[in-house]
């Protein structure tokens, strides 16, 4: 039985994927911030056929919370076959996390970065294993200003979100280079424009149009989840690494995402921001 950890597993893409993966009879570790939402998600994943379902509370925007999550996982599970870094959000106003980091960057990139780094040896020991990042087409056109990663100047929700999703692709690629030959893969993907709760962060004035858009134009959570499930468990992808997927196909990510020097710099700064040694140093 495989052990598969999914962050952002209480709703939307993560919950749908967890239910689909459960059909294989695997052990699912569901991660989210809220105990009641986790309990409800676990019931759905259990009834979908999971071999076992565990839940762990964690706020991925808090480094203290991510460290506690990693410690629990390392204490409790001898292997991790798949780590799906899927938790994410969209924030209309600029806020900072308890660690003093802009919330979009802290939630969508640094939390997954820290969790992955802390679990990396266990993933390598579990090879063949996979790390998957839920990124977005919004990474195209995003910038990476290493002097002001958290947009203390010129914040907009779209720009910060795009940057965090660019960081997902850059980190997946940098990780795949470091993990070459270990049997652990790292890939990022765009799940589609998916009708989930993430859109609820948009201003109330656009909600009627949004509700219509969700029904008429957006991909279902099940389909978005299926794209995560594909990367997490499809046997054909066992050796595919360092890629960005869109509609289940490998696509070139943005030019900046393909800049390996910038990718290594992002990893070094992310390590500094999370109190880790420079990766690969």
Ligand X SMILES: NC(=O)c1ccc[n+]([C@@H]2O[C@H](COP(=O)([O-])OP(=O)(O)OC[C@H]3O[C@@H](n4cnc5c(N)ncnc54)[C@H](OP(=O)(O)O)[C@@H]3O)[C@@H](O)[C@H]2O)c1
Catalytic residues: 161
- Alpha carbon distance 218, 216 (integer Å): 6
Count of other CB atoms within 10 angstroms of residue 68: 15
Binding window for ligand X (CB under 6 A); candidates: 152-160, 174-182, 186-194, 273-281: 186-194
107 scored as a contact of ligand X (CB under 6 A): yes
For residue 174, report the phi and psi dihedrals to the nearest 5 degrees.
-60, -40
Closer residue to ligand X (CB): 7 or 229: 7
Closer residue to ligand X (CB): 191 or 263: 191
81 scored as a contact of ligand X (CB under 6 A): no
Binding window for ligand X (CB under 6 A); candidates: 144-152, 169-177, 192-200, 272-280: 192-200
Binding window for ligand X (CB under 6 A); candidates: 117-125, 149-157, 193-201, 273-281: 193-201
Judged by CB under 6 A, how many residues of this single chain contact ligand X?
Answer: 31
Q: How many CA atoms lie within 13 A of 38 on its CB side?
A: 18
For residue 240, report the phi and psi dihedrals to the nearest 5 degrees.
-85, 125
194 scored as a contact of ligand X (CB under 6 A): yes
Q: Does residue 128 have a cis bond before it (omega within 30 degrees)?
A: yes
The one among 154, 197, 252, 275 contacting ligand X by CB under 6 A: 197
Radius of gyration of the chain (CA): 17
The one among 74, 127, 198, 250 contacting ligand X by CB under 6 A: 198
Closer residue to ligand X (CB): 10 or 176: 10
Closer residue to ligand X (CB): 1 or 201: 201
Contacts of 47 (CB under 8 A, 6+ apart): none
191 scored as a contact of ligand X (CB under 6 A): yes
The one among 5, 14, 82, 139 contacting ligand X by CB under 6 A: 14
Binding window for ligand X (CB under 6 A); candidates: 69-77, 81-89, 122-130, 151-159: 81-89
Closer residue to ligand X (CB): 79 or 246: 246
Contact 110, 101 (CB under 8 A): yes
Judged by CB under 6 A, the chain residues 123 through 182 that form the site for ligand X are 134, 136
Contact 52, 62 (CB under 8 A): no
- Alpha carbon distance 184, 175 (integer Å): 9
Give the pairing type, strands 3-7 and 82-85. Answer: parallel
Binding mask 23-62 for ligand X (x = CB under 6 A): ---------xxx--x--------------------xxxx-
- Alpha carbon distance 242, 233 (integer Å): 16
Q: Please list the residues that pair with 125 across neighbouring strands.
A: none
CB of 101 to ligand X, least distance (A): 12
Buried b (16+ CB within 10 A) or exposed e, 36-50: ebbeebbebbeebeb
Q: Please list the residues that pair with 190 across neighbouring strands.
A: 246
Closer residue to ligand X (CB): 136 or 270: 136
Q: Which residues bind ligand X (CB under 6 A)?
A: 7-14, 32-34, 37, 58-61, 86-89, 107-108, 134, 136, 190-191, 193-194, 196-198
């Amino acid at each position: 039985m495989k052990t598969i950890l999914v962050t952002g597993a209480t709703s939307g893409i993560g919950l749908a994927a967890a239910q689909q993966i459960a059909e294989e009879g695997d052990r699912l570790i569901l991660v989210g911030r809220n105990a009641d939402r986790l309990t409800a998600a676990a019931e759905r994943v259990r009834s979908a056929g999971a071999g076992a379902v565990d839940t762990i509370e964690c706020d991925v925007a808090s480094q203290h919370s991510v460290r506690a999550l990693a410690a629990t996982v390392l204490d409790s599970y001898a292997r991790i076959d798949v780590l799906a870094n899927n938790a994410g959000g969209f924030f209309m106003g600029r806020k900072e996390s308890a660690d003093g980091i802009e919330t979009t960057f802290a939630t969508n990139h640094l939390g997954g970065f820290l969790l992955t780094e802390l679990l990396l040896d266990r993933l390598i020991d579990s090879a063949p294993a996979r790390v998957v990042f839920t990124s977005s087409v919004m990474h195209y056109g995003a910038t990476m200003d290493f002097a002001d990663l958290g947009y203390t100047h010129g914040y907009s929700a779209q720009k910060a979100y795009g940057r965090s999703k660019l960081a997902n692709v850059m980190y997946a690629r940098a990780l795949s280079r470091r993990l070459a030959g270990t049997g652990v893969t790292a890939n990022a993907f765009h799940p589609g424009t998916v009708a989930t709760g993430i859109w609820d962060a948009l201003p109330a004035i656009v909600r009627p149009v949004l509700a219509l858009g969700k029904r008429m134009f957006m991909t279902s959570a099940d389909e978005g989840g299926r794209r995560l499930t594909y990367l997490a468990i499809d046997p054909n992808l066992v050796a595919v690494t360092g890629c960005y997927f869109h509609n289940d196909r490998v696509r070139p990510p943005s030019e900046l995402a393909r800049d390996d020097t910038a990718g290594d710099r992002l990893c070094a700064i992310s390590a500094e921001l999370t109190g880790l040694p420079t990766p690969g140093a």
